Chains A and B, each alone.
Chain A
Amino acid sequence: DAGVIQSPRHEVTEMGQEVTLRCKPISGHNSLFWYRQTMMRGLELLIYFNNNVPIDDSGMPEDRFSAKMPNASFSTLKIQPSEPRDSAVYFCASSFGYSNQPQHFGDGTRLSIL
């Protein structure tokens, strides 16, 4: 199994630009999670999906952030317009089932907004 695949691994862009992060969950997993990790705030859950449906997006910081999951094998997290304070490592994770199952993380996208 290839595990959770995220792209790009690194992204450097200027403030105001649109950023799109991509995630392919482990095949057969039906739950997908987007996290943001910073030194100050640790691991924060942004949004999660069950069976491609967004269940809880209360962690999305503001309207500049949006996430989609058009099918079981692909999800995107978009930031538009980006700001320097969005700089962080963004992780995608997936799990099988609806509760109390281990989440498997991708390698993350290190995002730097200049």
Chain B
Amino acid sequence: GENVEQHPSTLSVQEGDSAVIKCTYSDSASNYFPWYKQELGKRPQLIIDIRSNVGEKKDQRIAVTLNKTAKHFSLHITETQPEDSAVYFCAASKGNQFYFGTGTSLTVIP
């Protein structure tokens, strides 16, 4: 099966700085990579996704990059704000089933 590793497990940044979260996957057949944000006590919410035919995707302050050869993908958040504080999960999928990373707890310090 697929194995997704996510780093770091915790990340603290100053407000306005950038944050980068990295994930690796093991199954080269995986072709869909969503990212979810989960605030404390809330549900995971999709914030951005990328498919394997694309190398990069951007949505305002959030971007995701994918390196299929190296089997890794990353989430980039620029100009971080306190409301970006949450746990972020990456996932890899090659069908209906998502394989989630273990999460990164991001704290943005005002």
Contact A107 B97 (CB under 8 A): no
> Does any Cβ of B come within 8 Å of A82's Cβ?
no
Residues of A bordering B, CB below 8 Å = 31, 33, 42-43, 45, 48, 50, 55-56, 91, 95, 98-108
Contact A31 B43 (CB under 8 A): no
Contact B96 A99 (CB under 8 A): yes
A-B contact pairs, 19 of them (CB 8 A): A31-B96, A43-B100, A45-B97, A48-B96, A48-B97, A55-B96, A56-B97, A95-B96, A98-B96, A99-B93, A99-B94, A100-B32, A100-B95, A101-B32, A103-B98, A104-B46, A105-B36, A106-B43, A107-B43
Determine the distance from Cα of A43 to Cα of B34 in the docked complex, in whole angstroms.
14
Contacts of A95 in B (CB 8 A): 96
Contact B46 A91 (CB under 8 A): no
Q: CB-defined interface of B30-67 with A at 8 Å, one 1/0 digit per residue?
A: 01101010000011111001010000000000000000
- Among residues of A, the one whose C-beta sits closest to the C-beta of B6 is A42
Q: CB-defined interface of B88-110 with A at 8 Å, one 1/0 digit per residue?
A: 01000111111010110000000
With A102-B34, A102-B49, A107-B42 known as contacts, the answer to whether A43 contacts B96 (CB < 8 A) is no
B40: min CB distance to chain A, Å: 12
Determine the distance from Cα of A45 to Cα of B96 in the docked complex, in whole angstroms.
11
Contacts of B31 in A (CB 8 A): 100
Contact A105 B96 (CB under 8 A): no
- Among residues of A, the one whose C-beta sits closest to the C-beta of B34 is A102
Instruction: Please tell me which one of the listed residues B44, B93, B102 contacts residue A105 in the complex, with CB atoms under 8 A apart.
Output: B44
Determine the distance from Cα of A102 to Cα of B51 in the docked complex, in whole angstroms.
11
Instruction: Please tell me which one of the listed residues A42, A56, A108 contacts residue B100 in the complex, with CB atoms under 8 A apart.
Output: A42
Contacts of A55 in B (CB 8 A): 96
Determine the distance from Cα of A108 to Cα of B41 in the docked complex, in whole angstroms.
9
Contact B96 A50 (CB under 8 A): yes
With A100-B31, A100-B32 known as contacts, the answer to whether A108 contacts B95 (CB < 8 A) is no
B35: min CB distance to chain A, Å: 10
